[in-house]
Structure 1
């Protein structure tokens, strides 16, 4: 005589197995999120470099991208061991992929680089690019125009990009088939 199958128990076990697999897959994707850079093409450009509040905002949005990616289950790679190499290579917008070996050497599967272009104190553009560290292939890119040079507008722009471009669908480090 056979025992009746406990379908609820089987469904719960299968769901738990899928959650474990999904957790392992998410944790396996290691991400190097490089600091966002500023390209000031406005008439306010200062030869001494970016204004202190804009440097703070660059750090603010970089940290926000890291926070949101970590909350989505990605393992954010510590860039501190590569600090000198990063400083030598920046700005990344001018180096034609020189950050890829850095990301590879610190164990990342994918990298995120970003740029804020300041057209004026009212018009700014936040851009990012995700690349597969192994192949250098661009997996996804996005851009958002923002109005007003404030913490709130920068965070709103990055929030839009993360929700609608960076994490939708979740990056895996491999190009879609």
Structure 2
């Protein structure tokens, strides 16, 4: 008998927040689950339909049992019956010894994929199906129990120059350094796993002086499909002194959720990126 082996190939992995009751105690999350489909493309001569139907039925019963047994979740008949998430999937037999299982979890309210993964498992017997179910159930529950990344619109950092330098004397180099600052901040936030950076384009990309628009960046971010907005400013105090600041707003309400200020720093223009990345990392990533 071949030893069962599961090989995980992640397509992408999104996650969701755990719901809480008004009193603050954790409430069970409603999870709806459709029966997985089954397809046999192995071209084996023997008809194994009955065996596959039995194993698939046992697989689904065990998956529902495992999720329902965890006090954090409750099984719901459908998304229309109060389910916060829906689990769908399918299994395909590709050869005598190889089967694929595609599993997805959907956030019903946000209409977003929480999890979309492809698994490969060897064998087509009761033992291999049971081991596959154990692995899949753990993956599904892990997806349901992890905080979701926030969709964040990070607008281009702006320069506030209070020096006596003539206007436009270093506009090209300033623009280049500001581009590096914005790219660095977007990268560190994306890599943290806490944020999903929303693409900014069109008129939003041409907007200037967002720092003086009294929170208009929040409504722009909402139109882009973001949950939150971030604007940042580099304030040049002298040719070798600068400060950095940023502000995060709720895209729907415009409320300020976080802000940070570096205080006076010494360094040439090329050090802006390093300072901004450190400030944002300490304020938005490490502090959480």
Of the candidates 186, 204, 225, which is equivalent to residue 66 of structure 1? 186
| Deviation at residue 84 of structure 1 after TM alignment | 1.9
More strand per residue: 2
Matches within 5 A, 1:119-134: 119-134=237-252
Question: What CA distance in whole angstroms lies between the structure 2 residues aligned with 1:50 and 1:136?
Answer: 34
Query: Does the 8 Å CA contact 2:188/2:281 hold for their aligned counterparts?
Result: no
The answer to which structure has the higher helix fraction is 1
**TM-score of the aligned structures, taking structure 2 as reference length:** 0.48
Structure 1: where are the runs of 5+ without partners? 1-8, 171-177
Q: How does 1:83-122 map to 2 (within 5 A)?
A: 83-87=202-206, 89-122=207-240
List alignment gaps of at least 5 residues for structure 2: 1-130
State TM-score, norm by structure 1. 0.76
Following superposition, the deviation at residue 97 of structure 1 comes to 1.3
Q: In the alignment, what sits opposite 2:268?
A: 149
Instruction: Report the alpha carbon displacement of residue 14 of structure 1 after superposing the two structures with TM.
Output: 8.7
Residue of structure 2 equivalent to 1:42: 163
Report the count of equivalent residues: 153
Q: From the superposition, tell whether residues 55 and 77 of structure 1 become closer, same or farther in structure 2 (CA, over 3 Å).
A: same
Once residues 139 and 14 of structure 1 are traced to their aligned partners in structure 2, the CA distance between those partners, rounded to angstroms, is 35
Contact 1:35 1:62 in 2 (8 A): yes
- DSSP 3-state at the match of 1:167: helix
The structure number with the bigger radius of gyration is: 2
| CA apart distance, 1:166 | 2.2
Q: Tell me the SS of whatever aligns to 2:238.
A: coil
- Structure with bigger RCO (C-alpha 8 Å, 6+ apart): 1
1:51 Cα shift?
A: 2.4
How far did residue 131 of structure 1 move? 0.8
